Amino acid sequence: MGKPRVLSSSKLVEMSTALPQVVLKEGDNWTNITFKGKGFAWINHPENLAMIKAHHVEREALLATAPAVYEAGWATNSSAWVRVRLELADPVEVFELLEDAWRMTATKRAIKAYDEAGRLADADDHARTISGTDPKREG
């Protein structure tokens, strides 16, 4: 079985493009991942960190199970952002968090189209391939 690759900020940006209608806003050292102008993830490239939108309950679970990887970010009444140390994170878990953040931000129509197109399986395969945990590539 192959060892999973370390997740980098550039790989996370690449993974985000598996989600529909994602627009990347690039700065000198950061990338803001958005859906129709609404941000759901922010990446600090030099520090290999990400802030990803989440539900309060999900954030608390992540903080409790992997405090070396996840930290509390800012919060609102409707969402709680999670700070992720990418080099310590499981790429598949981070993609799932990113996908949930996209779902919190995207329109119902976009989510329905994504689900109907079978993109969940494709996006999961994409995340596994990028992370180096694709069983089809092991052997």
Is residue 18 within 8 A of residue 123, CB to CB? The reply is yes
Q: Considering the domain boundaries, does residue 81 fall inside one?
A: yes
Q: What is the DSSP letter of 105?
A: H
Q: What residues make up the domain containing 38?
A: 9-134
From first to last of its 139 residues, what are the pLDDT tens digits of the chain? 455 578 999 999 999 998 999 999 999 999 999 999 999 999 999 999 999 999 999 999 999 999 999 999 999 999 999 999 999 999 999 999 999 999 999 999 999 988 888 755 566 666 666 666 554 444 4
Position 1 scores a pLDDT of 46
CATH value at residue 105: 3.90.1150.30
What does pTM read for this prediction?
0.81
Position 139 scores a pLDDT of 43
Q: Considering the domain boundaries, does residue 119 fall inside one?
A: yes
91 phi and psi, to 5 degrees?
-55, -35
Q: Considering the domain boundaries, does residue 113 fall inside one?
A: yes
Q: Considering the domain boundaries, does residue 1 fall inside one?
A: no
Q: Considering the domain boundaries, does residue 100 fall inside one?
A: yes
Instruction: Using DSSP, state whether 47 is helix, strand or coil.
Output: coil
Is residue 128 within 8 A of residue 134, CB to CB? The reply is yes
Q: Considering the domain boundaries, does residue 3 fall inside one?
A: no
Tally the domains of the chain.
Answer: 1
Q: Considering the domain boundaries, does residue 4 fall inside one?
A: no
